[in-house]
Amino acid sequence: MRIIAGEYRGRVLKSPASSKTRPTSDRLRETLFNILQSKLDGETRFLDLCAGTGAIGIEALSRGAKFSTFVDKSRRACALIEENLDLLEIPEKHTEIFCDSAEKFIVRQSPAAWDIVFFDPPYQTDYTVFLYEFGENASKLLNKDGILIVEHHAKNVLPDAVGDVRRWRVLKPGETQLSFYERK
């Protein structure tokens, strides 16, 4: 797995030893960040939930985001994220890592909201609890023009609106889909 573009372009990340982590493919990451490029600048705060290797949040930093928060409930994944950040020599002032579930983290979220939130849990996960919790707390979690992106299997149908967020776009490049939500 490698970083596709930006400051760390071409650099290879460490991958997990087990197959429990399903990294977002290079092709899907490239498509995602082509869409997000206009939103990434020196002020962008990015939240990578169910971060796995940290590839999505690191790609955001590579492409110009100011800060990435990584959240994964697996201690092994959190250690792997730390290794990848160290491998690329990304300054600690641009990152933070939390070993927690996405649902618990968004309830205990930090005082600053994010511009982009990426949520990519294992496909068999029930997304409902997270989406409703996020929708109820959207004004605290997302900046005014912030977006939530959910990566999910095509068979997993997500709601068009939940609490204070509504889906405005679905990208269907194959079996994996990206649903884009914004504050109402």
pLDDT tens column, 4-45: 999 999 999 998 876 565 667 778 889 999 999 999 999 999
Rounded Cα distance between 35 and 41, Å, is 14
Query: For position 150, which CATH number holds?
Result: 3.40.50.150
151 band by pLDDT with thresholds 50, 70 and 90:
very high
Interstrand relation of 142-153 and 176-183 (parallel, antiparallel or unpaired): antiparallel
Edge-to-edge strands, sheet with 67-72: 95-99, 67-72, 45-49, 114-119, 142-153, 176-183, 165-171, 161-162
User: Which pTM was predicted?
Assistant: 0.94
CA–CA separation, 81 and 84 (whole Å): 5
Instruction: Report the domain count for the chain.
Output: 1
**21 located within any domain:** no
Domain that holds residue 124: 26-183
Report yes or no on 13 lying in a domain: no
Residue 37 falls inside a structural domain:
yes
